[in-house]
């Protein structure tokens, strides 16, 4: 058990819809990362938050947004969903940037 909790585990929705993925980091970790894993793109870094503030951005689409709340949990919002957004979305946390990250079990998103 990594200590990182992601909900829900599975999500099935339709094109054009909006979903919210939730992540609770390991106790004591201030940094949260979001990743998208698909067969064709591999594991892609989306965005990082540190203690409530955005720290770094990767390949995150404009239709996607995230935030980290005062209790350090984070949410990833995906809107105007397309078939190509079907993927496994991971949240990871670490004590600080550049330190080993511990991953949640992921949310598998299927767009029909």
Partner 1 sequence: AQKITQTQPGMFVQEKEAVTLDCTYDTSDQSYGLFWYKQPSSGEMIFLIYQGSYDEQNATEGRYSLNFQKARKSANLVISASQLGDSAMYFCAMSHASGGSYIPTFGRGTSLIVHP
Interaction with partner 1 in 4-43: which residues (CB under 8 A)? 33, 42-43
Q: Number of residues in contact with partner 1, rule: CB under 8 A?
A: 24
Q: Which position among 30, 45, 60, 65 is part of the footprint of partner 1 (CB under 8 A)?
A: 45
67 touching partner 1, by CB under 8 A? no
Q: Strand pairing of 42-50 and 31-38?
A: antiparallel
56/83 with CB nearer partner 1 = 56
Q: How far apart are CA 111 and CA 63, in angstroms?
A: 15
Min CB(58)–partner 1 separation in Å: 7
């Amino acid at each position: 058990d990594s200590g990182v909790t992601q909900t829900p585990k599975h999500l099935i929705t339709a094109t054009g819809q909006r979903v919210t993925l939730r992540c609770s980091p390991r106790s004591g970790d201030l940094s949260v990362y979001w990743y998208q894993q698909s067969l064709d793109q591999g594991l892609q870094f989306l965005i990082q938050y540190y203690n409530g503030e955005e720290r770094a951005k990767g390949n995150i689409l404009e239709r996607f947004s995230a935030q980290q709340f005062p209790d350090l949990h984070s949410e990833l919002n995906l809107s105007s969903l397309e078939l190509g957004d079907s993927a496994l979305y991971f949240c990871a946390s670490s004590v600080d940037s550049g330190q080993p990250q511990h991953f949640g079990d992921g949310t598998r998103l299927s767009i029909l």
